[in-house]
Structure 1
């Protein structure tokens, strides 16, 4: 990646982060492009050099979360089982969600915008699958396909856990709900739950 492209990606990330903060604080519909530009320290004109509108800024913020998950996955210890790696890779996201009172608002926002949810799923699945493909057991047939299937299953488990987390009366932490969902697909051993950070 060229220096210019790295700089562009960094600026897009800063704008998307500013947009996400406003979306969670004020709501998506109540936030204007002008407010996002001001929060990011740029002009409205500069904003449109990086994003075509609010939807794209939100999508950019979600893509950054997906990249962070893939990066966490890539740092897991060699030899760790792929399904356990996926569980551990979600740990930073879950920790932030459980600590940030705005996380539920973001989850609800995604449920209200299925088009962005689908875009997020596609971008996350591709990035996570690429990081996971190198960790599959040697000799795995069709590793690209298998890694995409595993990534898709894990993302689906996360969405199921988030959906349950938002239900009235649910008081279990999101991490416990994700354990239950992933257990239903493939049982996790005790040491593979409540993920610990990579050493």
Structure 2
């Protein structure tokens, strides 16, 4: 498989900028993975990590698209910054299928953000779910996205969630009940939720 076709995923919960004390200047951006907190020291490092979250509604995000976006942003030394983030496990290039995709799913746990909005009006298609804040819809999720938003964090890792999903009627319709066939739609759903700030990937429960 060509590197250009690999999917890009950011890993970690964005804790925002860290200031050592009141009135002091910004020191770094905090990103938490499991029990570990990483400090992204510059705005450029943070921008490279954030670029892996989107842009919104442009999924799947492949390595080729991610690289084009970094070039377009003109971030200095973007490749070296991305390599350092990858070495820390904060950026992952993931094959869409096969053993590499399964291992990625075993190593990470989807953690939902925001909340379900509820009834959003008669002009919204059936099987569509509003997610965001009570007064603001971030995204109208499809059924697969909504399943992983609602249930994904109940499992110790994404692969266990995919196996459970495959046993549902929706999993039967999506991938004939086969977890490996359901994995790519699950990865796309996770990407879509990440780029709408509705989910982040943490370390799997046994890899924290």
Higher strand share: 2
TM-score under structure 1 normalisation? 0.33
Higher helix proportion: 1
What TM-score, normalized by structure 2, do the two folds share? 0.32
More relative contact order, 1 or 2 (CA 8 Å, 6+ apart): 2
